[in-house]
Structure 1
Amino acid sequence: MALKSIFDKFDNPYSALISRPVWMWGAEMGVNQFGLSIGNEAVFPKAKVADHALLGMDILRLALHNCKDAQEAVSFITNLLKEHEQGGDGGYRGSLKYHNSFLIKDFERGYVLETCGKHWALQEIRDVAAISNCYSITDDYCEVDPDTEKPCNFKTRYENKLVTFFTKGDARRKYAYNYLKTSDRELTNVMNVLRSHMTADQKIKKGMKSICIHSGPFIKSEATSSMIVDYIGDKFIIWFTGSPHPCVSLFKPIVFSGDKTVQGFDNVDYSVDYSNDATVLARALVKNYSLFVSEIKTIRDKYESDFRKLLYSDLDTKDPEQLISECEKCFEMEKEYVEQIRSLIG
C-alpha cells in the first residue's frame, strides 16, 4: 500500500538488473545501467516496525531506477525515510518486519547506510565493508540524521540485541569483513566469501552461522541468489547465480549495453523460469554434496575460469556489443555444464 501511494511520483527512467523475491516489486540487490549497485540487509531495531510502510527492497529498487551514482542514492534514500515511514511486512508465508542496512557503490565511492525508522547513519567505505543482519555503525559515521541526538553510538542506540543474537548477523559480518580485509581484491575471493560455510572444512552447516546459509529443521532461512558487481576501469561486469546455495552454484557474467542487458532477463517469465531451473539444480547438488566436492566442483570452477578468461582478456579494447556477445557465449556454455552435471547426479 505504501509503495502504491508514492509510485507515481517517480519517473523511474533508468534500467536495472535486480534480484528480487517473486512476491514483491522491490529488490534485495541490483545494479543499474550507470553502474550504481545497491544491496540490502534486514536489521532489527528496538523501535516498533510500522505495519504499512515502505519496504527496504522497494526503497532499494526506487533508488536504482532514479539515481545515477552513490551520493545521489544516499540522498534519495534518506529523503524517502524523512518523508515516508519504512517498515511493512516482507515475509512470504510468515511475518517478517525489519528496518534496513544498505551497501551502496558506484565507480568512485561506496557507502554503508544503516537506518532505524527515519533515523540513519552513513559511513563512507575507505577500504572494505560488509553488512549483514546487524547494525555495524557505532560512532564511526561520517554523517547522521539531524534528529539523532549526539554523541551517538548508532548500533547501541537502535539495535535490538536479542533479535540480532539469534540472526547471527554480527558473526557473519565480521567473518566477511575479515576475509575481504586480509585477501587480495580478486573476483574469486569475493565468490569464496559468498560460498563460505565459515568452517575450516567448508562442509555444509545448517543454520544462521554461515554466509552461505542452508535451511534446517528449525531455521528456514537460506542464501538466495548471489550477485557481484566487478568495476574495471570504465566498465562493470555483473556475476550472478540466479539460484540459492552459492556454494554449489555457477556464477555467470552479464553486462549492460546502454540500458539493455544480455539474455532475456528483461522478461519476467523468462527470468522466473531460469531461476526455477537453476534452483532445482542447486538443491540437487546440495543433496549430492559429497559428489559435488569430489567431482563436480572442479568442473564448475573450470567453467567459471573459462568465463573469466573470455571476458577479461583484452577487456580494455572491447566495446559493449563484444562483451554482450561473449556473455551470450557463456550462457551457451552454461547449457553444456548443466547437461554434464545432470548426467552425473542422475
Structure 2
Amino acid sequence: MELPQSCDTFVALPPLTKHGVIFGKNSDRPKGEVQEVVYFPASQCSNVIKCTYIEVEYSGPRKAVILSKPSWMWGAEMGANECGVVIGNEAVWTNNTNGENDPSVKRLLGMDLVRLGLEQSSSATEALEIITNLLEKYGQGGPCAEEDSGLSYHNSFLIADSSTAWILETSGKQWVAEQISSGCRNISNGLSITTKFDRHSKDLFDYAKAQGFWNGEDEFNFSEVFGGEKVPGSDRYIEGQKLLKKYTETNDFKEVDMFNILRDRQSGICRPCDSPFPTQGSQVSVLSSTRPSVHWFTATPDPSISVYKPFIFTPNAIISKHTICPEERVSFYDI
C-alpha cells in the first residue's frame, strides 16, 4: 500500500455518537521536526498579526486557544479554542499553481489559517467564513517545512463545533465547502468534494472556465476540475473510511474509538518514528454543548505508543511546560 506524506482528519456526529461531536487528527510531519502543544490565553489585538511569513490586518479579540504546532512556525496543524471550535488541515496538491495561486510563494500557510480561524471564531461556521475571507484576500503558500523549502501545497480543512462540521477544500484562492450535519467524514491529501457543496468562492465557475479547467457545460466537479492527476493519500482516505464505518456500526462511537483509528498502523494513518514522515502529534476532541468540551493531545510522536492527555478550557488554564519547545528554539517567532 502506498503511504504518501502527510495527515488524516476525522469527524463523527450524532446519531453515530452518543455524546456530541468527536474530532480527530494525526499530524504527519518531517522526521526530526518538533511538534509542541501550547496554550495561549485570550487577548486583544489592535493592529496586525504577524504570521509565519506575512502580516494580516486584524483588530479585535483573540480567543484562548490550545494548539499542536511545529515549533518553528506561527501557525498550527490542529487545535481548539475556548468556544469549542476545532480545526485541522491537510496538504492537497492541485493543478491551479500559477501566479497568485503558486503554493511556493510566501503567503499564509494553511497552518496559519488554522490558528487565525481558531483565534477569531465562536463557531465552526464563523471559522469557515474567517478562513475563506483571509484566503481570498491574502492567498496561501510558502515552504511548509523548516528544512525543505520545496515542500509547499494548498490545503483542505476539517472545522467542527458541538453541532456541525465543515469540510473546506481549496485550490489557490478558489474553494468549496461542504457542511456535515450528521454521520461521519474524513479527509486525507486529495480533494474529496465533488459535485455536492454548500458554499464556494464567488468567482469559482468563471475562474475555472477562464483557466480551461472546466468547459462550462459538464456538471461541475471540484475534485476533477482542480485536482489534476496527482491524488496522494487516496489509499489512506479509503482506509480511513473503512475504519470509521467499522467503529461507528453500533451508533456508540466514543473518543477511545477515535484513539484506535489514529493509532492504526496497518492503514498508514499512524506512522512510526522511523518513518521519513512520522506522525509527530495527534489530537482528539469531544465537543459538547451541555458540558465542557475535552481535547486530548499526545504531545509526542506515534500515537500507537503514546498516551492521550486531556485538556479543558478553564479560567487561568495551565499546561505542562514539557509539551513546549524550549524558549531559545523559538524565540525569534512571534508566538
TM-score, structure 2 normalization: 0.70
**Is contact 2:65–2:79 with CA below 8 Å preserved after alignment?**
yes
Question: Structure 1 residues 68, 97: CA separation in 2 closer, same or farther (over 3 Å shift)?
Answer: same
Whole-angstrom CA distance in 1 between matches of 2:220 and 2:291: 38
Q: In the alignment, is the contact (CA less than 8 A) between 1:121 and 1:141 conserved in 2?
A: yes
Q: Residues 261-305 of structure 1, C-alpha deviation per residue, up to 9 Å, x if partnerless?
A: 34346xxx76226xxxxxxxxxxxxxxxxxxxxxxxxxxxxxxxx
Q: Which of 116, 120, 123 is residue 69 of structure 1 equivalent to?
A: 123
More strand per residue: 1 or 2?
2
Match of 1:210 in 2: 268
The yes-or-no answer on 1:27 pairing with 2:76 is yes
1:224 deviates by: 1.5
Using a 3 Å threshold, how does the CA distance of structure 1 residues 255 and 17 change in structure 2: closer, same or farther? same
Q: CA deviation at 1:39?
A: 0.7
Q: 1:140: Cα distance to partner? A: 1.9
1:161 counterpart residue number: 229
Alpha-carbon shift at residue 174 of structure 1 (Å): 3.1
Does the CA-based 8 Å contact 2:185-2:241 persist in structure 1? no
Counterpart of 1:136 (choices 189, 192, 212) is 192
Distance change >3 Å, CA 96–CA 12, structure 1 → 2 = farther
Using the aligned pairs only, state the percent identity.
30
Alignment of 1:1-346 (within 5 A): 5-11=54-60, 13-48=62-97, 49-50=102-103, 51-94=105-148, 95-125=150-180, 126-149=182-205, 151-162=219-230, 164-165=231-232, 168-182=235-249, 184-198=252-266, 209-214=267-272, 220-232=276-288, 233-258=290-315, 260-264=316-320, 271-272=324-325
Distance of 1:253 and 1:17 partners within structure 2: 11
Question: 2: distance between equivalents of 1:11 and 1:5?
Answer: 19
Q: In structure 2, what is the Cα distance between the partners aligned to 1:253 and 1:167?
A: 31
What is the CA–CA distance in structure 1 between the aligned matches of 2:203 and 2:137, rounded to whole Å? 14
**Structure 1: gaps (5+ residues):** 199-208, 274-346
How big is the shift at 1:167?
A: 7.1
Separation (CA, whole Å) in 1 of partners of 2:244 and 2:204: 27
Higher relative contact order (CA 8 A, sep 6+): 2
- Measure, in 2, the Cα distance between the counterparts of 1:130 and 1:124: 13
Determine if contact 1:37/1:105 at 8 Å carries over to the other structure: yes
Secondary structure, aligned partner of 2:224: helix
Q: Residue 76 and residue 192 in structure 1: after superposition, are their counterparts in 2 closer, same or farther (change >3 A)? A: same
Deviation, 1:62, is 0.7
SS of 1:228's equivalent in the other structure is strand
Opposite residue 291 of structure 2, the aligned amino acid is D
**Which of 1 and 2 has greater Rg?**
1
The CA distance in 2 between the partners of 1:2 and 1:118, in whole Å, is 18
Equivalent residues of 1:254, 1:262 under 8 A apart: no
- Take 2:76 and 2:144, find their aligned partners in 1: how far apart are those partners? 11
Q: CA deviation at 1:246?
A: 0.3
Q: 1 CA distance for matches of 2:57 and 2:242? A: 41
Q: Distance in 2 between matches of 1:157 and 1:131?
A: 18
User: What is the root-mean-square deviation of aligned Cα atoms in Å?
Assistant: 2.6
Number of paired residues? 258
Unaligned runs of 5+ in 2: 1-49, 206-215, 327-335
SS in 1 for 2:296: strand
TM-score (norm 1): 0.68
Equivalent-residue separation in structure 2 for 1:253 and 1:85 (angstroms): 34
8 Å CA contact retained: 1:256, 1:262: no
Counting helix residues as a fraction of each chain, which structure ranks higher? 1
Report the counterpart of residue 44 of structure 2 in structure 1: none
Cα distance between partner residues in 2 of 1:68 and 1:146: 24
The structure-2 alpha-carbon separation of the partners of 1:104 and 1:57, relative to structure 1 and needing over 3 Å to count, comes to: same
Greater shift, 225-234 or 60-69, is seen at 225-234
